[in-house]
Structure 1
Amino acid sequence: MYKLIIFFLTVFALQSCKEKTQKSPKVKPQEKVEIQNKQPKKEIFKGTFEFISYDDNYDYMLLNARKDKEIYGFVNDRNNDRTLLRGDICEIQWEKDTIYIAGDGDTPEIADWLVSIKKIKDGNVSKFRKEYKKQIKYHWHEDNYAQNYLDEIYLLAEYYIANSKNKLISNAVQNKENIEYSVEKRTENNRDYDALGIGFMSEYRFAVMQWVYIERENKKIFELDVTNDELVEFK
């Protein structure tokens, strides 16, 4: 009899433990991971801009664009396309994200990261290439011009020629004449420039239609006003 009582007590205890175990909710491991990794969505901004240039010379690659006379720099590390030309009108989407300033203890800073960019209208340089269909020839005298720097100057010279109001240049473009330019270093008022003589070959000599100065520090373009002997910013 005593043994029978002990048997029933043991069975009752096991059933109680089982009921308690069944009442405890179970959380799947993957459900825990999903909860921990859930982050708020970043806000996406959108606007229409005039493309200016790519700048891949720093720790972060940049894409520069203009909107309402203001210039914006977008971090361009996630975009490999380099087909846009200065003056193209584009729709840009971007988000706020962190960059780290090298040389300053990797200090974090919030910047505009480009998410997507789509050309919606050709600028004057794109139109110029489609209509003129020629490479612009150039020559220089100094030996210390790197090719990538000459490539930058070429884009600036092309932009000037495509937008120039100089009648000689406009007529040369319209008639698809061979346009060339020379490159040389000059200093004016303690500022360094690359001077471009834009012209054409005529009877074994080079005839200049317009002198253009490119400021090396910020790549601004200036026309030389020969009459007043002064540089006028080209806009």
Structure 2
Amino acid sequence: MKMIRLATVCLLLLSAVACKQKAGNNTGINATDTVKKAIIKPDSSPKENTTRQKKDVNAKFLTYNDDGDYYLLLAQHGDSTISFINDDADRSLNRGDSIKIFWKDDTITMAGDDEMPVSAKRITSIRKIADGPVTLFKKSYGRQMKYTWAPEENFSDYYLDKIYKLVEYYLATTKTELLLRSIKAKEAINYSLESQERDGRRYTMIGIAVPGTHGSNIVQWLYVDDETSQLFEYDLGNDKLMPVR
């Protein structure tokens, strides 16, 4: 009788254990799974954040723009032009220089927009990677250009400096044979400026001259759009303005 009772107790215990295991398996979760998930989740999240918060880019320097409320630096990345807030007083970069820009997200307020905050990229530091065509031109040519303009023209020093840099860029990338010859010989290149209207738009017209037998001869006319600062080469044969890229 005692043996029968013992066997019955053992069967009941085994049945209870089996039911408990079955119930646990139905949930699909065990202690090991919980530990694994607790480990995996923190590891994956920071990797995503690191990718989103990358704040550097390789680009080509285009120009500084100090005309507005904020000092700006414009750079080309692929086919896009990116604008950065640039607090650094250094202005030594030349158009076409390869640079690495480090930046952070920021907000600024624009005049006339009820001081609503606007998202902006603020430069933290810049590293120059390689010289562009203007820097190489300045190193090889090694001379300052001279320029003249009519007394009635109201050109500011800032604007004259901007035009000078555009002419430098043109000379650094030109394929005009007479100019290439003068640059190679390090001859004195000069230019004149005057305001001009064409097809209802205002331009600054530039005449680039090189030394000739009877003094300086203008060998190329350029136009700068007063509104956009786009530089054009004048095609005399077709009477057209060709954008300089």
> TM over 0.5, yes or no?
yes
Matched ranges for 1:25-40 at <5 A: none
Matched ranges for 1:111-190 at <5 A: 111-141=120-150, 142-190=152-200
Tell me the CA shift for residue 101 of structure 1: 1.5
Equivalent residue in structure 2 for 1:104, among 107, 113, 116: 113
Tell me the CA shift for residue 133 of structure 1: 0.7
- On the 8 A contact 1:55/1:64 being kept in 2, the answer is yes
Structure 2 CA distance, aligned partners of 1:121 and 1:173? 22
Structure showing greater radius of gyration is 2
Which ranges of structure 1 fall in alignment gaps of 5 or more residues? 1-40
Structure 2 CA distance, aligned partners of 1:185 and 1:156? 16
Structure 2 CA distance, aligned partners of 1:126 and 1:155? 11
TM-score (norm: length of structure 1): 0.79
1:193 aligns with 2:203: yes
Matched ranges for 1:83-94 at <5 A: 83-94=92-103
- On the 8 A contact 1:43/1:96 being kept in 2, the answer is no
Report the AA paired with residue 57 of structure 2. G
Tell me the CA shift for residue 44 of structure 1: 4.4
Report the AA paired with residue 65 of structure 2. D
Aligned match of 1:45: 55
Aligned match of 1:72: 82
Tell me the CA shift for residue 114 of structure 1: 1.0
- On the 8 A contact 1:44/1:95 being kept in 2, the answer is no
Identical-pair percentage: 39
Structure 1 CA distance, aligned partners of 2:91 and 2:53? 26
Runs of 4+ more than 6 Å apart = none
Aligned-CA RMSD value: 1.8
Tell me the CA shift for residue 202 of structure 1: 3.2
TM-aligned CA distance change 1:204 to 1:143, over 3 Å: farther
- On the 8 A contact 1:50/1:90 being kept in 2, the answer is yes
Structure 1 CA distance, aligned partners of 2:67 and 2:196? 24
Structure 1 CA distance, aligned partners of 2:77 and 2:121? 15
- On the 8 A contact 1:44/1:94 being kept in 2, the answer is no
Tell me the CA shift for residue 165 of structure 1: 0.9
Which ranges of structure 2 fall in alignment gaps of 5 or more residues? 1-49
Structure 1 CA distance, aligned partners of 2:101 and 2:182? 35
Tell me the CA shift for residue 143 of structure 1: 3.5
Structure 2 CA distance, aligned partners of 1:207 and 1:69? 37
- On the 8 A contact 2:153/2:194 being kept in 1, the answer is no
Structure 1 CA distance, aligned partners of 2:238 and 2:95? 30
Tell me the CA shift for residue 69 of structure 1: 2.0
TM-aligned CA distance change 1:143 to 1:232, over 3 Å: closer
Tell me the CA shift for residue 146 of structure 1: 1.3
- On the 8 A contact 1:44/1:93 being kept in 2, the answer is no
Structure 1 CA distance, aligned partners of 2:195 and 2:211? 21
